[in-house]
Structures are given as structure tokens and as C-alpha cells.
A and B are shown apart, each in its own frame.
Chain A
Amino acid sequence: MFSFLDRERTIASPGYTRWLIPPAALCVHLCIGQTYAFSVFNLPMTKLIGITRSAPGDWKLTELGWIFSIAIFFLGASAAVLGRWVEEGGPRRAMFTAALCFGGGFLVAALGVSIHRLWIVYLGYGVLGGIGLGLGYISPVSTLIRWFPDRPGMATGMAIMGFGGAAFIAAPLSVWLMAKFSTPIHIGVAETFFVIGLIYFCFMVVGAAIVRIPAPDWAPAGYTPPAQPRRLVTTQHVYVYDALKTPQFWLIWWILCLNVTAGIGVLGQASAMSQEMFKGRITAVAASGLVGLFSLFNMAGRFFWSSISDYIGRKSTYFVFFALGTALYATVPYAGAIGSVALFVLCYAVIFSMYGGGFATVPAYLRDMFGTRYVGAIHGLLLTAWSMAGIFGPVLVNYIREYNVTHGVAKAQAYNSTMYIMAGLLIIGFICNVFVKDVHSRFHMRAVEADAEVEAAPVFGER
């Protein structure tokens, strides 16, 4: 019944244009990136009974915060656990399953809201939606890399840019739908979940329908694969679980974790930080505008930096992130001291572009190290670094600020030490990047394995 999802059914016919693959990937990433905008539902969900204000029995913000946390946890867990299934089942099966989970998660959450059972919302958006997030995030990665062997950074950057840009669509759409479904005696969260779940399911299914994998002997016109492996760009393949045994995997894990920790830590605090550092000059409204501006740089950086990495190399790109990032984090306190809003905004804009760039460049870095065969699955395992950074970054920023304020440091200077610590984290990331070398040949798949179809790859426990 579902044979149209089979990997064999997705092999492109001769002449198929590879430029249809990025929109297929964007169909998925523009939906699952909605998770960045989930907070627009938080406040309305605290007033589902009281309508105008929270009443006894209404959910609390602290309880609602767990929905996002559970979803992010299941994103990392499902990407890590199901990565090999995604690789071997093909992108269409993975995208369709992601659509079922993500769209279905909204429908289950809608039921939870309508009968006011929070655990059903956790189960729906958190668990089911989170699994959809993880599957959807990694599903187009290896396909894009195979279609764009000449520009893998640009190709994966386009998809991951969609993840960064999804909130721009989701936030106004959600607010508009809630306004449409709300009445003086009812808040239309459940109806919004229901409609948005159906919209996202349909949108993601279009991506699954478009996506194709290239024929095994396909190559872009004019592209000649390098006969000899270039330094730090392998022509071999590493089996997904063998990658875990290499120092390169763990070095890149820390590179991603540190880059994200630094970025995510200040991302959530950008509004409060700008208002406290420039008291009276940046209002709450202006700060929200700044956050929107920074989010645009976050999105654009995903495409810009990953595309640049195709020319200067992945290792050099991360050197730029860490060296320039260190300088910029260290400059932020100076911008506050001299009262330069322009310098502050410039520093943050570049920092957020590199935060997004770090996410978008890492699949190509993995491809360079471990080959294309299991790059999607290896990428899935690496996303645990994101989950870790998502916990460390905000905790670090909030805790240090709180410590400084309670110890008498003025609010305007309360973030200075945080900025220096973030700069320090980036120096550690720089050192990790220095140690990234080519993967030892003992980890490469044997020729017979590498030439075999993916379906013939060893099963769990065989290696």
C-alpha cells in the first residue's frame, strides 16, 4: 500500500533537475522550524479557563514550558536513534513519517487542549511532534549532499535556513488563526492546533512527493569527482556506529555544542540584555524589533556561511566562527560601556549569523569526514550536542546574570562576565577545531560494503 514510499520508487529518472530537491527539503524544514515559534501559544494556554486572565485550574507557564523541552529532547533522541532507518528507508519514507508525526502531534495536542489534559499535549506536541522534528530535520540532509557533491554546504544550508526561517511564518500565522477562532468566551488554541497540524501535514507531504534520490552513477554536468581524496575531504564512507569510535566525531560534537551554547545562551536573553545594557535608549518594543532583526541574521547566516564553506573549507569556516565570535563577544561589553547601540547591534547580528551558520555547515563537515553513505544518520547522532547546548546555554547566561545582580553588579554590566565566558567557550571550540584531522583508514567501510546498495548494509549488532 505504501510502496510509493520505497527508496527504489524515489530514484530520479534521467534528466531530473536537482534544483527541485531544495524546495522539497524546505517543505519539511519550513514546517518543523515552527517549534521556534511555539512560545506564541504559551500565554493563551495559561488562560483557557479564565479567558481574560489565569483562573484556578489553568495551566501555569512553568508547566507549559515543558512542551517545548520535551519536543527538543525527542528531536535529539529520534534523530540519534532513527538516523540509520532514515538513511536506509530513503528520504520519502522519512519525510512522510515526519509529516504524520508532526501534523499528528498537533492534532493530538488539539485534543489535549480541548479536553484540558496537559499530559495529552505533552504526548502530542512533545513526544509525537518531537519525533517528527527529529525525522524531518535529518531526512533531506544526505539526499541534498548526494545531489550537490560540488556544493554540499550550500545545499544543506538552504534546507537548514528553512528551519531558521520557519518561525517567521509560524508566529504570525498562529496569532492570526487564534484571533479568528477566539470568541469573548473561548480562546481558539485547540482549533488553531487542528488547522495548523493539517496545513503542516499537507505541506510536508508535498515535499515527500517531490523528493528524489539520484541514480547511483549520476553526477552533475561538468563535475568530475576528485580522483584522490583532498585533505579533510574523504572519498570513503564510515559506518554510522563506527563514526562514534573516531575522535573526529567527538571533536565536531564539541565544536557544535560550544558554538550553539554561546549562541543559544544569548539568543533567549537578547531582548532583556539590550534593554538593560542601554536603559532608556532601547525600549521593550524596540527590543522586540531587534530580536526579529537578529532572527533574520540567524536565518541568512545559515545559507551564507554554509555556502562560503564550499569555497574556504569547513575547518576554515569554523575557525572564522570561533575567532571572529571570540572577538565579537569580547566587544559587546565595550559597546555597552561606550553606549554604542550601533556597535552592539552589529556584534549581535554577526554573532547570530554565525550561530545559524554553525548549524548549517556541520552536515557538510560530517560529509567531508565520514563520506556520504551514513551522513544523515551521523548527523542525527550529532544533534545530541544541540540538546546539550540547549540546556547549558540559557542556564549559563541566566545563572551568571542572577549571580552578578545579587552581588551588587549594576544590571547594565551584569552580562559582561557572561560575554567573556562565552568568548572563552569559543576559544575551546577553536582548539577542538585545530585537532580535527582526516579519519583513519581503519574506520573506512570495505569496498564491497561501500559499493553495495544501502539496503544491503549490515544490520544492528552485526558490526
Chain B
Amino acid sequence: MADDPKPQGYGIKLALAWSFVGIPLAWGIVQTLINALKAFQ
């Protein structure tokens, strides 16, 4: 059984799942960069 090259109906699920983990991580990275930049000012 091969993977469906373009799985149907997963677009929203993929967007939700990646946003669920991506947004907190991006927020954390931005906070760290802001603190790092403050440190060099």
C-alpha cells in the first residue's frame, strides 16, 4: 500500500496541527530574540 500522494481532506487538520505546535514555538523564539537583542543594546 503506497501513500496517497495528495491526501484529501487533511488540509485543515494539517494547518491546525502545525499551528498548534508552531505558534507557541514561534512565540517562544521571538521572546528569546527580543531578550537577546535587549541584552546587546
Q: Report if A and B associate in a common complex.
A: yes
Residue ranges of A at the interface with B (Cβ–Cβ < 8 Å): 14-20, 23-24, 26-27, 30, 162, 165, 167-172, 206, 210, 215, 217-223, 285-290, 292-293, 295-296
Q: How far is the CB of B18 from chain A (nearest CB, A)?
A: 5
Q: Which residues of B contact A295 (CB under 8 A)?
A: 32
* A23 touching B18 in the complex, CB below 8 Å, given contacts A165-B25, A292-B35, A296-B32: yes
Grouping DSSP codes into helix (H, G, I), strand (E, B) and loop, the A interface class, with mixed when no group exceeds half, is helix
6 more A-B residue pairs beyond the given contacts A20-B17, A27-B21, A217-B1, with a C-beta to C-beta distance below 8 A: A30-B25, A168-B25, A169-B27, A221-B2, A289-B38, A290-B36
Q: Which residues of A contact B13 (CB under 8 A)?
A: 20
Do B14 and A30 touch (CB < 8 A)?
Answer: no
Do B28 and A27 touch (CB < 8 A)?
Answer: no
Point out the residue from A17, A167, A286, A296 that lies within 8 Å of B39, measured CB to CB: A286
CB-CB contacts of B1-41 with A at 8 A, as 1s and 0s?
Answer: 11111011010011001101100110111011101111110
Bound complex: CA A146 to CA B39 (Å): 43
Residue ranges of B at the interface with A (Cβ–Cβ < 8 Å): 1-5, 7-8, 10, 13-14, 17-18, 20-21, 24-25, 27-29, 31-33, 35-40
Q: Which residues of B contact A296 (CB under 8 A)?
A: 29, 32-33
Do A168 and B17 touch (CB < 8 A)?
Answer: no
Bound complex: CA A285 to CA B8 (Å): 51
How many residue pairs bridge A and B at CB < 8 Å? 95
Bound complex: CA A215 to CA B4 (Å): 13
Bound complex: CA A285 to CA B40 (Å): 8
Bound complex: CA A223 to CA B4 (Å): 12
* A162 touching B14 in the complex, CB below 8 Å, given contacts A168-B31, A221-B5: no
Q: Which residues of A contact B4 (CB under 8 A)?
A: 14-15, 17, 221
Bound complex: CA A15 to CA B10 (Å): 9
Q: Which residues of A contact B27 (CB under 8 A)?
A: 169
Q: How far is the CB of B37 from chain A (nearest CB, A)?
A: 7
Residue with the greatest number of chain B CB neighbours at <10 A, chosen from A19, A23, A221:
A23
Q: Which residues of B contact A30 (CB under 8 A)?
A: 21, 24-25
Do B7 and A15 touch (CB < 8 A)?
Answer: yes
Cβ-closest chain B residue relative to A299:
B29
Do A24 and B17 touch (CB < 8 A)?
Answer: yes
Point out the residue from A24, A169, A171, A221 that lies within 8 Å of B25, measured CB to CB: A169
Point out the residue from B14, B31, B38 that lies within 8 Å of A17, measured CB to CB: B14
* A168 touching B32 in the complex, CB below 8 Å, given contacts A26-B21, A289-B38: yes
